[in-house]
Amino acid sequence: MEPLKITASLATAIATYDDYSPSLDSLVEWLILDRLNLCSPNPTSEQVEATQAIVDERMPLQKAEIGGEWYWATSSPCYQIITEQQDRFRKRWQPGTDSPEPNWGKRRAKWSGSEGAEKSYDLPLYLRSTPAITWYCVGDLNAIFDLLSACSGIGKKRSYGSGQIIKWEVEPHEHDWHLWRDGALMRPIPITEMPTDRPIDIAILNWGWRPPAWLHTNKARCAMPVHCVRKPEI
């Protein structure tokens, strides 16, 4: 394991709703499970627990520790936003059209546009244009590159063409910047583990700071970096 700099060059704007996604450790975990055909679109906590040993065994990121809690040694995404815009994404199924019939499964065949798999929606899609996104981590260069090479898109709504990857670059880096860079916080950590001997710019959020981020046991009140993503100059 060695300090690394990972760069994703982008062909299209990335869809994201915060400054801390896409998370490199979550992406790498997903790629590991996808390669083993163990991915689930809506996994349960039991499924996560059942695959945790598999992920731990194959994870090419270093497992670090802070305050007695483990995490994967990677920073938040770092990039310069060139432009920001809002689009929409929609779904509406209309009976009697060329739309495919819903998969009713064991349910009674009753269509509703307000609930279930046939639910209609019209939601905002926030897009950020940037030439590249960089993460700093500690890991196995060859193993990480091997996994990332299979990834052609990052962020939300990749099926809409968002977050398309031109190329991945994984290279050794002189410094370990996964947690701190020149005194600035580089990733979410529990607020209880923040140094108190100096002022540090942070935001505070309840956040899933280990993957999977939705799992309750991976959430904490966290100090969040505020300098990894740079906003457009006005």
- Supply the pLDDT for residue 53: 87
- Supply the pLDDT for residue 181: 94
In which domain, by residue range, is 63 found? 2-84+124-176
Asked whether residue 71 is assigned to any structural domain, the reply reads yes
- Supply the pLDDT for residue 205: 94
- Supply the pLDDT for residue 109: 61
Q: How many domains does the chain fold into?
A: 1
Asked whether residue 229 is assigned to any structural domain, the reply reads no
- Supply the pLDDT for residue 73: 96
- Supply the pLDDT for residue 199: 87
Asked whether residue 14 is assigned to any structural domain, the reply reads yes
The CATH number covering residue 51 comes to: 3.30.70
- Supply the pLDDT for residue 176: 96
Asked whether residue 193 is assigned to any structural domain, the reply reads no
Asked whether residue 225 is assigned to any structural domain, the reply reads no
- Supply the pLDDT for residue 63: 94
- Supply the pLDDT for residue 117: 55
SS (H, E, C) the chain: CEEEEEEEEECCCEECCCCCCCCHHHHHHHHHHHHCCCCCCCCCHHHHHHHHHHHHHHCCECEEEECCEEEECECCCEEECCEEEEEEEEECCCCCCCCCCCCCCCCCCCCCCCCHHHCCEEEEEEEEECCEEEEEEEECHHHHHHHHCCCCECCECHHHCCCEEEEEEEEECCCCCCCEECCEECCCEEHHHCCCCCCCCCEEEEEECCCCCCCHHHEEEEEECCCCEECCCC
- Supply the pLDDT for residue 1: 87
Mean pLDDT for each 10-residue chunk of the chain (234 residues)? 95 90 92 87 81 89 93 95 78 58 64 58 80 96 94 83 91 96 94 90 93 89 93 69
- Supply the pLDDT for residue 159: 74
- Supply the pLDDT for residue 44: 81
